[in-house]
Structure formats: C-alpha cells, structure tokens
C-alpha cells in the first residue's frame, strides 16, 4: 500500500490534522506504518479521494517523491498546485523545497508573493524580492532576469 505523510495529506487536501486522524481512528481512512523519519503515514488512495484536483499517474509518482524529500519533486508539486490555484498546497511544497536551497522553488515563491494568491498568499513585495534574490544568487536564470528588471526600474 502506498502511503503519504500526514503533513503532506493536510497540505494537499486542506483538511485539518485532527479531522484526518479522526478518520483514521474511525476506520474510514487507512493508515500505514511510520516512515523512516517517524512520520504518521496515511493510505495514499484514501487521501487522493479528498483532493480537489485530478492528479494523473505521473503527478502521483512525483507526489510520492516529493513526500520522500526530493526537492525537485517538491518544487514541481508546488508549481503544479500553484498553477491549479491550490495556493495552500503550493506554499507547503515550495517552502519544503526552498528549505533545501532549491532555486526553482524560491523563484516560484518570489513570483507568488509578487502577484499574491488570494487570502492564502498575501501580496508582499519584501518577501517577493527576498525569494527572487535568493533564487538569483543560486543562479536561477528567470529570477536573475526578474531581479534585473526590478533593479532597472528602481533607478
């Protein structure tokens, strides 16, 4: 049985930890053994039934890699959820990847804070510049262009 961590399940479903755990205890959601990082794991199929967007087989494989700690997959999941308008899930994955110095995730975070994402992602120029500068410093070409435009505009 494939499983997904409780934290990732909360992020992609928008359902609270308490509610998901209640479903585990009442038997309406399957539970797996703790993973190598001692995280509570839920049955992937049960979690996917609660996600508001369709994920194909490639997306699900990427989700499992992201949950296992793959920063590239985390950044890709963040971008996927951001484009789909699932901003809370996007922030979760982008922050997970950015914590591992993933420049792609940092560039997405900069873009997200520059444009805002409703009530979940407030428009924040300072955070946008911070994330874009970090991504540019790591060599991200799009972030470098964005920073160049910002600096030229400020002169």
| 21-60 tens-digit pLDDT | 999 999 999 999 998 889 999 999 999 999 999 999 999 9
pLDDT band for 11, please (50, 70, 90 cuts): very high
Q: pLDDT of 56-98, one tens digit each?
A: 999 999 999 999 999 999 999 999 999 999 999 999 999 999 9
pLDDT band for 119, please (50, 70, 90 cuts): confident
Q: For residue 129, what pLDDT is reported?
A: 93
pLDDT band for 143, please (50, 70, 90 cuts): very high
Q: Cβ(12)–Cβ(51) under 8 Å?
A: yes
Scored b (16 or more CB within 10 A) or e, 103-118 reads: bbbbbbbbbbbbeebe
Report, at the CATH architecture level, how domain 80-155 is classified. Answer: Alpha Horseshoe (1.25)
Question: With 60 as the cut, is the pLDDT of residue 151 above it?
Answer: yes
Q: For residue 140, what pLDDT is reported?
A: 94
Q: For residue 1, what pLDDT is reported?
A: 85
Q: Cβ(43)–Cβ(31) under 8 Å?
A: yes
Best CA proximity match to 89, nearest among 14, 2, 31, 26: 14
124 vs 153, which has greater pLDDT?
124
Distance CA 56, CA 58 (A): 6
Q: For residue 154, what pLDDT is reported?
A: 56
Q: Count the Cβ atoms, other than its own, within 10 Å of residue 101.
A: 12
Taking the complete model, does pTM exceed 0.85, yes or no?
yes
Q: For residue 120, what pLDDT is reported?
A: 85
In terms of phi and psi (left: phi > 0; alpha: psi -120 to 50; beta: otherwise), the region of 78 is alpha
pLDDT band for 117, please (50, 70, 90 cuts): confident
């Amino acid at each position: 049985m494939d499983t997904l961590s409780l934290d990732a399940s909360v992020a992609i479903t928008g359902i609270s930890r308490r509610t998901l755990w209640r479903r585990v205890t009442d038997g309406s959601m399957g539970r797996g053994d703790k993973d190598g990082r001692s995280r509570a794991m839920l049955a992937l199929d049960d979690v996917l039934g609660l996600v508001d967007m369709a994920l194909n087989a490639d997306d699900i494989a990427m989700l499992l890699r992201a949950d296992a700690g793959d920063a590239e997959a985390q950044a890709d999941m963040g971008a996927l959820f951001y484009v789909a308008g699932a901003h809370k899930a996007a922030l979760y994955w982008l922050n997970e990847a950015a914590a591992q110095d993933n420049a792609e995730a940092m560039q997405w975070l900069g873009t997200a804070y520059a444009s805002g994402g409703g009530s979940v992602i407030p428009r924040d120029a300072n955070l946008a510049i911070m994330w874009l500068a970090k991504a540019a410093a790591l060599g991200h070409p799009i972030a470098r262009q964005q920073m160049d435009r910002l600096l030229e505009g400020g002169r």
